[in-house]
Structure 1
Amino acid sequence: MPTTAYPAAVRPDVETLWQYNQLHHDIRPTDVGIGLGSHDLGVATHTAQLYQASMFPLIVFTGANAPTTVERFPRGEAVHYREHAIEKGVPSEAILLEPRAKNTSENIDFTRAVLADHGCVDSIRSATLISRPYQQRRSYAIFRKHWPEVEVICSSLPLELDEYIDTIGDADRVIDMLVGDTQRIWVYPERGWAIEQEVPTAVKVAYDRLVNAGYTSRLLPA
């Protein structure tokens, strides 16, 4: 049974990774907001909030399904995100759909293609990338690799660690995902999928301790 409780002994290491994977960018107006599909409906909520604050005039929701989202979003992540944003007051004509992407590289490449199909990709000079909080750094690195000529700002719902775990309702899942995203910061550049980023020693130490504590379900094979 999922629970929001987790051992107090691991909390400092979880907090270290939580802070590292968020970029704390200053939000300002950009040409497009890109909501990355996942199990977290908070991405759509925050995208709608930023749109209503006039941070961008156009939204692209991108995402098909993963094994972790198919039950919650049976028609696809982007489709459900669009519906949620409309419920939050975003006009339907301000939203484009990209319903095929199954990973973050495809999110970026397929979003670019959708914008090209609608004749507006050449006007995109800046983008706000909206994701789960702990996905910011990885998404940023992938975006910079795949679309380097566009300036990117990352944003997420402004929640503290325990608040976020409460919204998801499963501490182990959040910690596993956080550990997995951290590993991808150095693995993806090695595979040519993302730009390189600095990984402080404190982050590597926290990561190693959490792996040793058993938070390994989202790790890539060595």
Structure 2
Amino acid sequence: MITGKQPPVTEEVRELARSLWNYHRLGHSVQKSDAILVLGSHDPRVAERGAALWLDRKAPLLIFSGGLGNFTAGVWEEPEAVLFGRIARRMGVPEDAMLLESRSTNSGENIRFTRDLLRDKGLDPESFTIVQKPYMERRAYATFKKNWPEKAVQVTSPQISFEQYPTESISMEVIIQSMVGDLQRIREYPKKGFQIHQDIPKPVWVAFERLVALGFDQHLIR
């Protein structure tokens, strides 16, 4: 959880953060798949993006995966998947088109627990569209490919720019803290067997180091 006084978001910080934002986003063009898998998040716009894709007939099955994680435990009173499912129903997605996985607490569990749920239901989709926040696209992709390498996957997110992404509950400071921590995880988690390896361009890592030096270190692995 990211709390307390945050470093100022100067123009230098914004430029450094844009470098991380652009790296984290994959820019996949969304094609039809067998299932849309919306990963748990503290951002309801992720659920809206997943539901909109289903309504646009991008897949016949919509899955929400998420219990209470790093940003929602102690804040939300119900699992992320439950809240996201309610958003989708309000948007017009019928109950029989959705599956909810509400035990997972991190990205790896999102994938593994969803795989187990589908197996229990006798379902075996061959291709997935993953939906996550823009600045978690790359990490979501790397986690999926590590845990379910035989499946085809594409990743998307709410179609909102870096400048317009902050809300009253998700500040620019929190976004930057999250991006810094996730970039460190992209580098370190393959060593732990959590993700596939992905190259990090030197300018992106230099931007990461400068942001850490400026105080954006609350989401780092300790």
**TM-score grouping bracket, smaller chain normalisation:** over 0.9
TM-score by length of 2: 0.94
Question: Retained in 1: the 8 A contact 2:70–2:105?
Answer: no
Q: How far 1:71 moved relative to its partner?
A: 5.1
2:20 maps to 1:17: yes
How far, CA to CA, are the matches of 2:147 and 2:30 in structure 1?
22
How far, CA to CA, are the matches of 1:143 and 1:53 in structure 2?
24
SS at match of 2:129: strand
Question: Retained in 1: the 8 A contact 2:54–2:93?
Answer: yes
Q: Write the deviation string for residues 136-177 of structure 1: whole angstroms up to 9, x where unpaired.
A: 101100100100000110000111111112364412111100
Aligned length: 218
User: Which residue does 1:50 correspond to in 2?
Assistant: 53
How far, CA to CA, are the matches of 1:110 and 1:67 in structure 2?
17
Question: Retained in 2: the 8 A contact 1:34–1:60?
Answer: yes
How far, CA to CA, are the matches of 1:17 and 1:37 in structure 2?
21
SS at match of 2:165: helix
Question: Retained in 2: the 8 A contact 1:37–1:62?
Answer: yes
User: Which residue does 1:103 correspond to in 2?
Assistant: 106
Q: Write the deviation string for residues 8-44 of structure 1: whole angstroms up to 9, x where unpaired.
A: 1211110000000000011000000111111000110
How far, CA to CA, are the matches of 1:167 and 1:119 in structure 2?
41
User: Which residue does 1:188 correspond to in 2?
Assistant: 189
Amino acid at match of 2:123: C
How far, CA to CA, are the matches of 1:112 and 1:71 in structure 2?
27
How far, CA to CA, are the matches of 2:168 and 2:54 in structure 1?
22
User: Which residue does 1:219 correspond to in 2?
Assistant: 220
Q: How far 1:196 moved relative to its partner?
A: 0.4
Amino-acid identity (%):
37
Structure 1: 5+ residue runs without aligned partners?
none
SS at match of 1:166: coil
SS at match of 1:163: coil
TM-score by length of 1: 0.94
Amino acid at match of 1:56: A
Q: Write the deviation string for residues 166-216 of structure 1: whole angstroms up to 9, x where unpaired.
A: 364412111100101111111010111110011001100110010001000
Describe the shift of the 1:202–1:146 C-alpha distance in structure 2 as closer, same or farther (beyond 3 A). Answer: same
Question: Retained in 2: the 8 A contact 1:60–1:96?
Answer: yes
Amino acid at match of 2:32: P
2:36 maps to 1:63: no
User: Which residue does 2:206 correspond to in 1?
Assistant: 205
Structure 2: 5+ residue runs without aligned partners?
none
Question: Retained in 2: the 8 A contact 1:2–1:170?
Answer: no
Question: Retained in 2: the 8 A contact 1:39–1:72?
Answer: no
Amino acid at match of 2:24: N
How far, CA to CA, are the matches of 2:5 and 2:215 in structure 1?
16
| Greater shift in the superposed pair: 105-114 or 5-14 | 5-14
SS at match of 2:166: helix
Amino acid at match of 1:142: T
SS at match of 2:88: helix
User: Which residue does 2:41 correspond to in 1?
Assistant: 38
Aligned-residue Cα RMSD (Å) equals 1.6
User: Which residue does 1:6 correspond to in 2?
Assistant: 9
2:180 maps to 1:179: yes
User: Which residue does 1:120 correspond to in 2?
Assistant: 123
How far, CA to CA, are the matches of 1:28 and 1:190 in structure 2?
32
